[in-house]
Amino acid sequence: MAAIALGLLAVAAGAQTWTFDGGAEGWQVNDLGADWVTSFGVTQPVWSPSGGAPGGFVSAQDPSSTTFVFEKLALGDYSTFVGGKLGFALQCTANSWGGDNVVVFRGGAADQILVTQIGALPATTWTDYSLDLTADKFRYGSRDGGVVNGADFASVMGNLTAVRISAEYGASTPGIPDTFETTGLDRVSFTAIPEPATSAAMLGLVALGGAAWMRRRRG
């Protein structure tokens, strides 16, 4: 009984990971406007079977002077990852543009755009990121918007229609080669990290359930 319950707990805690070791795994490239919504065209990333972090990875060259992202659509209910982490690795041939260093979530009942900053720009070698999946780290509409409230964050995570990881790290200045930088993406993962108190409470419930089950068996 306890072993089964712990198994269920492990699944609930779980993770969703894309390694790109066998292909692009449904991720695509979107040439976007500054509102993170207007699309100037969707293309497939280049898939490389080696050279990633580790194994295979996807990459794309900047298609225009606007911004572009790696994107996964229709993820569905990701509520289990609220309070957890979003991890990924990026590499980029340029790091001259710091205006789009974000991850964008779209979804929820009100079809909202929530934006969180990734921090330092990626290097030309693989650079790891680990972002907190908490409302206070996200802003409405752009990285300069108001701080997202818990209810809206829960709504978006409850029906995540798009995850967009910016690939735009080169300055869009005509004549500067950085305009057409190439960006690589690998090892995207959503990880649920239950609070210690929550885990303890869940284990307590499991123990109570087990005790009740034993009492019924004996009765």
Sign of the CA dihedral with 117 first, then 110, 162, and 96 last = negative
CB of 19 to Ca ion, least distance (A): 4
Task: Please answer whether residues 138 and 144 qualify as being in contact, where contact means their C-beta atoms are separated by less than 8 angstroms.
Answer: no
CB of 202 to Ca ion, least distance (A): 32
CB of 47 to Ca ion, least distance (A): 10
Residue-wise DSSP of 108-158? TTTTEEEEEE--SPP-SS-EEEEEE-SGGG-EESSTTSPBPPHHHHHHHHH
- Mask for 141-180, x = binds Ca ion (CB under 5 A): ----------------------------------------
96 binds Ca ion (CB under 5 A): no
Task: Please answer whether residues 87 and 187 qualify as being in contact, where contact means their C-beta atoms are separated by less than 8 angstroms.
Answer: yes
Site for Ca ion in 31-60 (CB under 5 A): 52, 55-56
- Mask for 183-202, x = binds Ca ion (CB under 5 A): ---x----------------
Task: Please answer whether residues 195 and 83 qualify as being in contact, where contact means their C-beta atoms are separated by less than 8 angstroms.
Answer: yes
- Cβ distance to Ca ion smaller for residue 30 or 59: 59
Selection from 184, 178, 167 nearest residue 96 by Cα: 178
Tokens at 144, concatenated: 């300069």
- Mask for 3-22, x = binds Ca ion (CB under 5 A): ----------------xxx-
Q: How far apart are CA 52 and CA 107, in angstroms?
A: 30
CB of 188 to Ca ion, least distance (A): 10
Binding site for Ca ion (CB under 5 A): 19-21, 52, 55-56, 186
